Amino acid sequence: MEFSELIRTGRAEALLLPGPGQPPVRGTLCITSHHLLLSDGHGSPSDLWLLLRNVDAVEKRVAGNSGTITLKCKDLNILQLEIEGLEETLDIACSIEALSSLESVTTSYPFFYRPQGLRLGDSEYLHPPDDFYQQVALKTNAWRLSTVNRDFYVCASYPPALVVPCAIGDEALARSAHFRQGGRFPVLCYYHSINGTVMLRSSQPLQGANRRRCAEDELLLLEVLALGGGQGLVVDTRSAQAVKQARLTGGGTEAKAAYPGWKRLHRPLERGRPLQDSFVRLVEACTDPSLSMDRWLSRLDGCRWLTHVKEALTTASLVAQGMDREGICILVHGTEGTDATLLVTSLAQLILDPKCRTMRGFQSLLEREWIQAGHPFQQRCAHSAYTQGRPKNEAPVFLLFLDCVWQLSRQFPLSLEFGEGMLLALFDHAYASPFGTFLCNSEKERYLCEVKTKTHSLWSSLNQSKERKRLCNPIYSPNPLALWPSVEPQSLQLWAGKTSLRFHLPSLNPGSSPWLRSLTGFFHIPNSRSFLTLDSTT
């Protein structure tokens, strides 16, 4: 396929209408294979460079001999372009639509992006299973690194290496995998060194209506209890009713009789379509400028986004509390174990483990618990809140995670090394990025597309000293304690930076609250200037 076939008109005279915090640009518009450029020809800083992958929806309107194209972006920004010429307008809209919805991974921009100062071979891809195992091995020798999945044969969505109890052989693991949806057998994801309890995750057991059992799977979980203190709790992210339903289609959950020592707790968390709808409705409410206070509050209430935040934080706190205070081992799963499960396990680690709250530790957590654990980023983040098409597999689970982290950062403003800017950057890059980090749905796909050798890693960009300073929290001071958040409704806030509010309100500038802005000013940190320049009002 040639990109040129998709570009009907490569060039036109256009005007970018001024948006909040954005000056108007008049000049020549250019469509390339991955970008939309709009330049006044003088190379001014207000020139528009838009990654076409970032375009979520295109709306066109023509009148007379010109037209307007509205680009609604995945980062929730909205751009309006006035284009000269009827034909040009239609052609350009068409080209953008075609180029922004290309599904091929290997022709995507990360495979062409070669930034200055970074060399492809040096790109900083993290190696969590090994690094993580090294850390666990320092504290206990009861767990081993298994390469049973080295060919992605046992489980297509797991990485090649996984941490499992020493006593369980690879053959048993393969059997257990056979008994779990998508082959996701229980693996270690966090070792709580204070009391030796562990957190595992998996997918649902394929119990079915006739209550099948699997000896190896039972043995695996029994061995976990033997290593971790004798008591276990399965946190199922679905309701008891949903589990009953799942049983009819071959799924299910751990039966009481088959897994002695393991109790079960149902903590239904929203996912899939309802979560996507919630996000869409939230963004709709945020972009409606005509709202009255009452209407705004009822729409905020109606979209239930904050309810999802509360439920996710509560479940994670519960898991963390069970491990830290009650000394019990935890297994988290829902149906596939790639969405709500990862939300819970990663948040619980952030609550318990001070290492995860550093810049490096957080990146490592994301790589381990989201990217390599097989959260299908490509499917979940194919579209954000503006798309008109019927969503298929989209769901803002990762965004929900970032929102929960933001809530933690509000309640413990000194305890996270990274600031709000980091969370916003992650949100943007998950949906459209010049880097390869969030490409594909699993390690297997990334391996097949040679992502790690042919694209740059987001982490190497974020860890460049200039970027790093910008994303850091200026008042960070390491906190060795667990962070127990308050989950009362009155304690949770709407993350205005995340929603489109950051683009649509003149006084609400990207991400930072007025308080944070004055704080950065207060510390006179030269590298925090980027925060201040974003600020147009003060």
Partner 1 sequence: MEHIRTTKVEHVKLLDRFSTSNKSLTGTLYLTATHLLFIDSLQKETWILHHHIAAVEKLALTTSGCPLVIQCKNFRIVHFIVPRERDCHDIYNSLLQLSRQAKHEDLYAFSYNPKQNESEREQGWQCINLADEYRRMGVLNSKWHLFDANRNYQICETYPIDLYVPESVNTATVVGSSKFRSKGRFPVLSYYHQDKEAAICRCSQPLSGFSARCLEDENMLEAISKTNPRNRYMYVMDTRPKAIVVESASVLVHCSDGWDRTSQVCSLGALLLDSYYRTIKGFMVLIEKDWISFGHKFSDRCGHLDGDPKEVSPVFTQFLECVWHLTEQFPQAFEYNEAFLLQIHEHVHSCQFGNFLGNCQKEREGLKLKEKTYSLWPFLLDDQEKYLNPFYNPTSQKFAVLEPNTVPFNFKFWRNMYHQFDRTMHPRQSIFKLIMNMNDQNKQLEKEIKELEYKIKHQKNRQTDTVLNKESLLSIHPDSPALKPSLCFKKEQTLLPVNDAVRTIEGSNTADNRYSEYTEEFSKTEPAVVSLEYGVARMTC
Contact residues toward partner 1 (CB under 8 A) are 231, 233, 239-240, 256, 263-267, 286, 289, 291-293, 295-297, 314, 317-318, 321-322, 324-326, 328, 410-415, 475, 477, 479, 481-488, 490-491, 493-494, 496, 501, 505-508, 514-515, 517-519, 521-522, 538
Nearer Cβ to partner 1 (313/432): 313
| Least spacing, CB of residue 387 vs partner 1, in Å | 23
| Least spacing, CB of residue 298 vs partner 1, in Å | 11
**In angstroms, how far is the first alpha carbon of the chain from the final one?**
49
SS3 62: strand
SS (H, E, C) 263-284: EEEECCCCCHHHHHHHHHHHHH
Asked if 306 and 488 count as a contact pair (C-beta separation under 8 A), the reply is: no
The residue ranges of DSSP E strands in 32-136, in sequence order, are 35-39, 48-51, 55-63, 66-73, 78-84
Nearer Cβ to partner 1 (61/325): 325
Computed on alpha carbons and rounded to an integer, the radius of gyration of the chain in Å comes to: 24
Nearer Cβ to partner 1 (163/482): 482
Nearer Cβ to partner 1 (49/515): 515
Nearer Cβ to partner 1 (50/516): 516
| Least spacing, CB of residue 255 vs partner 1, in Å | 10
Nearer Cβ to partner 1 (228/436): 228
| Least spacing, CB of residue 350 vs partner 1, in Å | 14
Burial readout 365-398 (b: 16 or more C-beta within 10 A, e: otherwise): bbbbbbbbbbbbbbebbbbbbbbeeebeebbbbb
| Least spacing, CB of residue 294 vs partner 1, in Å | 9
* Cα–Cα dist 41/27, whole Å: 7
| Least spacing, CB of residue 293 vs partner 1, in Å | 5
Nearer Cβ to partner 1 (273/410): 410
* Cα–Cα dist 448/442, whole Å: 10
| Least spacing, CB of residue 312 vs partner 1, in Å | 12
| Least spacing, CB of residue 8 vs partner 1, in Å | 39
Angle, in degrees to the nearest 10, between helices 420-431 and 397-411 = 180
Nearer Cβ to partner 1 (213/452): 213
Nearer Cβ to partner 1 (414/448): 414
What is the token pair recorded at 51? 């990654």
List alpha helices for 432-535, DSSP H: 443-448, 451-454, 458-462, 465-471, 501-504, 514-523, 529-533
Hey, what's the torsion of the CAs at 129, 316, 378, 7, to 10 degrees? -130
* Cα–Cα dist 440/436, whole Å: 9
Nearer Cβ to partner 1 (86/496): 496
| Least spacing, CB of residue 389 vs partner 1, in Å | 28
Got the DSSP string for 186-254?
Answer: -EEEEEETTTTEEEEE---B--TTTT---HHHHHHHHHHHHHHTS-EEEEESS-HHHHHHHHHTT----
Nearer Cβ to partner 1 (263/468): 263
* Cα–Cα dist 154/203, whole Å: 13
Q: Alpha carbon of 339 to those of 45, 289, 332, 372: distances in Å?
A: 39, 33, 11, 13
| Least spacing, CB of residue 317 vs partner 1, in Å | 5
| Least spacing, CB of residue 532 vs partner 1, in Å | 12
| Least spacing, CB of residue 423 vs partner 1, in Å | 17
Nearer Cβ to partner 1 (121/480): 480
What is the token pair recorded at 342? 């990862």
Count how many Cα atoms sit within 13 Å of the Cα of residue 285 in the half-sphere of its side chain.
Answer: 22
